[in-house]
Amino acid sequence: MPLVAHSDLPTFERLRQEGETVLPKDHALHQDIRELHIGLLNMMPDAALAATERQFFRLVGESNQIAQFYVHPFTLPQLERGPEGQAHVERYYERFEDLQREGLDALIITGANVVGPELAEQPFWEPLIEIIDWAYEHVTSILCSCLATHAVLQFRYGQKRRPLGFKRWGVYSHRVVDRQHPLVLGVNTRFDVPHSRFNQIDREQFEAAGLPILAESETAGVHLAVSEDGFRIVFFQGHPEYDTVSLLKEYKREVTRFALGEREDYPPFPEHYLGLRAQAILEEYRDRLLGALERGDPPPEFPEALIAPTLDNTWHDTAEAVVNNWLGKIYQVTHHDRRLPFAEGVDPADPLGLRR
């Protein structure tokens, strides 16, 4: 069943225009269908706030489980925002205190931009820990994306992420390593996932923490893992929620930073993402940009419109399948009263029955 447009958040109309099914709240109230309420803790900076919001809303809305999906976006006041981002949050986002009182069935936590190598020194560190501790006791399952995965591995399992010394950036092939786990049932045994990060939690660290690994890449490392009970926390280290053009827009931002003198080197291409034609266009653009900078002329327009139609999306169907499996299991094991995380007869230590 579809997303329910329970507020005037612009994302609902944007998804509707893209062809997604979005149910008006008045219509939803007249359907005798169970609701699932999912929190979205969006910690992304202003430039990616709405895009990240849409990406996760889309994945949830494309699930085919028999439920109405209410997604509740919220953020942390400790994150610095500009006037436009703050206005968006104040108008459309909810307060965590209200969501605590009403209860949630599940929680998604996005990544975030950080300054400096130490997560524990970030302004969001303590409030993020408080939210995850609350969710672990009151929410059926938590899905952590990228930096959120690194944060949970550090404060809950004592495993600090490792600086790579470079940016892991591109689209990488992954292999399912536990084909029996409910989260990957029906998923292709090999699939792609975008990654974009400077740090990594290694396989040995997941194993030391006792966390089952479900999918990994020979190049990019572990992407999908779960908590000891197999379900309470789901860890993404990549970005399966990304749009087809997300890495292109990141590349454009890095090129712009170079043009403004904010980075010394010209950014490399994201790996395994651009075709030969796209690379040729961007190499020609680089020469034009370098020439303009040398002459003191304004930078030429970035050829995004020429590149975007050449890009392939080789990851979204698998991302949709994994999230569909996740929501399906939440529907099966969660309590109808969303203030209680599990239905009667479900063992909180083994909600999926993996140890039977």
Phi-psi region of 103 (alpha: psi -120 to 50; beta: other; left: phi over 0): left
What per-residue confidence (pLDDT) applies to 197? 94
Same-domain pairing of 234 and 285 = no
Same-domain pairing of 219 and 138 = yes
Name residues whose C-beta falls within 8 Å of residue 123's C-beta, 6 or more positions apart in sequence. Answer: 78, 79, 80
What per-residue confidence (pLDDT) applies to 353? 78
Q: Is 67 among the domain residues?
A: yes
Mean pLDDT, consecutive 10-residue segments, the chain of 356 residues?
Answer: 79 82 66 82 95 95 82 95 96 96 96 87 94 95 96 96 95 96 94 96 97 98 96 96 97 97 96 98 98 96 97 96 93 80 83 76
Pick from 303, 261, 265: nearest CA to 283: 303
Same-domain pairing of 274 and 183 = no
Same-domain pairing of 292 and 174 = no
Q: Is 128 among the domain residues?
A: yes
Mind listing the pLDDT tens digit for each residue in 14-23? 888 887 777 6
Q: Is 347 among the domain residues?
A: no
Same-domain pairing of 195 and 287 = no
Q: Tell me the C-alpha distance between 169 and 284, whole Å.
A: 21
331 token code pair = 């529907």
Q: What does the DSSP 8-state code read for residue 351?
A: T
Q: Is 222 among the domain residues?
A: yes
What per-residue confidence (pLDDT) applies to 28? 52
Question: CATH number for the domain including 237?
Answer: 3.40.50.880
Query: What's the helix, strand, coil split of the chain in %, to 5?
Result: 40, 20, 40
What per-residue confidence (pLDDT) applies to 243? 97
What's the domain range around 272? 246-310
Number of domains in the chain: 2
Annotated catalytic residues are 146, 239, 241
What per-residue confidence (pLDDT) applies to 338? 79
Same-domain pairing of 207 and 118 = yes
Phi-psi region of 209 (alpha: psi -120 to 50; beta: other; left: phi over 0): alpha
Same-domain pairing of 17 and 88 = yes
**Amino acid identity at 176:** V
Q: Is 343 among the domain residues?
A: no
Q: Residues, the chain, total?
A: 356
Same-domain pairing of 156 and 239 = yes
Task: Describe the strand order of the beta sheet including 213-217 as a list of residue ranges.
Answer: 22-24, 3-5, 68-74, 35-41, 106-109, 141-145, 233-236, 221-226, 213-217, 162-176, 190-200
